[in-house]
Structure 1
Amino acid sequence: MANPTITPHDAFVAMDGDASLHAATVRIVVDPLTGPEIAALLQEHLDEMYRLSPPESVHALDLDRLRAPDITFWSAWDGDGLLGCGALRELDPAHGEVKSMRTAARARRRGVAAALLSRVVEEARRRGYRRLSLETGSQPAYVPARALYARAGFRPCAPFADYVEDPCSTSMTLALQGPSEETR
């Protein structure tokens, strides 16, 4: 399904300085996870995770698990073209987790992942989370992902939630201001 139904939580992000997207406006929408484009991108994501990491180190969620009520899933679109996706999982009322960040190959290094991550962080703050964490790979293929998260303020941390020490995993976290601190 191209261009999922727009919901009240949509964000619109200008992709400045991107010649290949001609500074297009990228629409980030809450996605119902029903379209073939998103299913294909998520399958590509899972396939790559299993290619890069041993099975016990893969924590990516499949389509059915992403439909859980504690997960909000976004997709980024340029017209009818899917550019990427990302999700926010509630671990507890004060702690969220970034999940399923993926950029389509044709849209990499164009700010799509940064825009999606910004949307996830914005929603975590809106919900009043005090912390937002993530797990990503520690192998060389994940250097761009770790750099993206570091630029957004995420710092290495101990494993969180149900994660355990794993030489193939890196855990990162971002402390978020609570609503009362933002208004002071």
Structure 2
Amino acid sequence: MDDTRPSVLVVDDEPSVAKAYSLWLDGEYQIETAHNGEEALDAVCETTDVVLLDRRMPNVSGDEALSRMREAGYDCRVAMVTAVDPNFDIVEMPFDDYLSKPVTREEVIGTIEELLDLAAYDDAVAERFAVERKRAALESRKPDSELEESEEYARLQQQSEELSTDTGMEMDHDSVKKALGDIESDEPKTAF
């Protein structure tokens, strides 16, 4: 039997956390788990749709695993799911969403569904979504004074403005959670 369910790779060095996510997702998705960055790199493949990736892992960190996945040409959607508070280093990281632990089942499933929906849109829309999620992550954890002093955050804001013009989409921070619902119905859909 051909399994057409979306493929989700769960990567967390805490086996109990990986198992919990897997139980939450069981039945809805094809699930594979990895308990470190090396296993994640071995498990990711062309058919992987979404990766839930912890940042803090021994040996090969989630950051390094993500970088190596992108260098290898994997264009799957990636959500960092981590206890590491976002810092300005995330501005340059090639992920789509950032969830701070602890997370709920609803948050994880909602994020996966949003990321799967992104596959129906062109690269500019996906990039706009990722930029806004990074802004939201930083703004939720950093005081305004740090944001105002950060060159990285200023670049992120500039990128947001440019992408807003390029995509013709307005996304304010209140609508970021439902970003895909804000995309106008006449937005061109292009599969990745």
Fold similarity call, TM over 0.5: no
When normalised by structure 2's length, the TM-score is 0.30
TM-score scaled to structure 1, two decimals? 0.31
Please state which structure has a larger fraction of its residues in helix.
Answer: 2
Q: Comparing both structures, which one devotes a greater share of its residues to strand?
A: 1
